[in-house]
Structure 1
Amino acid sequence: MVIKSTTDAGLQVLRDIAEPLRKLGDAYSVPLVAKQVGGNPRLFGTGWFFRCEQEWFLVTAEHVLRDLAPPRSPRGTPHDSDLLVPGVGGVLVPLSGKWSASPKYDVAILRLTDPNPIRENWTPVTVADLAPQQDLKEAWFHVTGWPLQLCARTTGGLEADKFRFTAKFDAGTEPYNPETELLFPLERNDFGTFDGQPTSAPALQGISGAPVWQIFMDGNRHYQPRLAGVETSYLERDMTWYIRATRWAAVRMVIEHAVPGLIKSAERLVGL
């Protein structure tokens, strides 16, 4: 977890919800594995599931999709590698469906043909979990992803671990579009647990596609995480990594293009 300043007023609140944040990452952040016919599985990114009415989608970054599907492979067709994710008991199961993507916003979705292999193992984001589009000056964000550095091949397949961090919105002097992007720093010289214990951050390759949660607290300190976007890249500036994420609105646009009217219908059902 990131600590930018031990005097920050929001830090004590974050200490109080460290365990719920851990559970959040365990339930939603999905490691994406590629496997060629006759080859070894390899971790290549992170994703998360979105359920809208009866439709399920895998959401990730568009450049992660390009790693799975080389440019010569048309979208929506079989790729060089199968896409696998952990199912019940950690057994890798294949996912199939039709891809849609936005290179401009670096987001991609897979509309699942059959969600049953993963339904019991992963919690999907729904329209009730989405963050409102609002000012971000005091916002805190949480990310859990699957870095390649924390993955190793074993005789049984792959063994991997998650990397979790929490940071306050701060774009520094970096240019960004507040309507479509989120930006927050990971300070490599000021990195540790919520209890002030120093620790180190791994290389970030592999966390692209991870869900980005905005942390909301009401007056009674009730914790309410809301999905704000998808992690797409980072900028390296001396000892600071600026994490860049695409906001939910771009993901929504891709889904609406793939299945017109679906999200609006679901919002009406829950009174949004």
Structure 2
Amino acid sequence: MQNLTDTPPSMHSLRDGYTAVVLGASGALGAACLHHLEADPRCARVVGLSRRSTPALVLEDETSMARCAAYLREHAPVHLVVDATGALSIDGRGPEKRLADLDGDTLLRAMQINATGPMLAMKHLLPLLARQERVIWAKLSARVGSIEDNHKGGWYAYRASKAALNMLLQTAAIETARQRPLAVIAALQPGTVRSRLSQPFVGDDGLLPDKSARRLLGVIDGLPADGRAHFVDHLGKHIPW
């Protein structure tokens, strides 16, 4: 494992001149990852996609994902995808503290934004990954998505949507390995990061997005391709599913 210090990250495990894509590039962590990849001399090109990009990537609209895939074909093959999409508060509602706070529409929206949307994006974009060489699909998840590691309860919709995401990533990793045996698929816990998503819950005590992104890129650079997905944090420690 490497690049967990303040040294600018470089993706040494990928081919020199690799192509990268960042989904959710307008968010705090997505923008930080985009910045680091643009600064990596080994990266030939990096494309940032978000609701604000052209074409736009909208998690609730699968046709937008198809348009993004068509746009990216001119940059294919792709060697690295960092998916930094997701939401903690849904339509102005924060995480539930009690079961009595659970709202059905909010639960469904959390699933759509944190699990269904990212996996439909994967459906359209994963075929653009190179074959017969190392490639990485890295998706921001959350420690609270671990079923085994749930000791506090609460946060029903967010926990459930991230747990669903993790299962979907693991299933996709098994299938992907059949055609791309050198592919790495990872669910990432970025740490408690200062961002618009987490600001109401962490204040100013969290990691800066730049530091978290630097660490995450270093971690995924060192992960092996073993036919299964990895669930790891920003320090490279494995998290139980």
Instruction: Give the TM-score, by structure 1 length.
Output: 0.25
Q: Which has the higher strand share?
A: 1
- If you compute each CA radius of gyration, which structure gives the higher value, 1 or 2? 1
Q: Which has the higher helix share?
A: 2
Instruction: Give the TM-score, by structure 2 length.
Output: 0.27
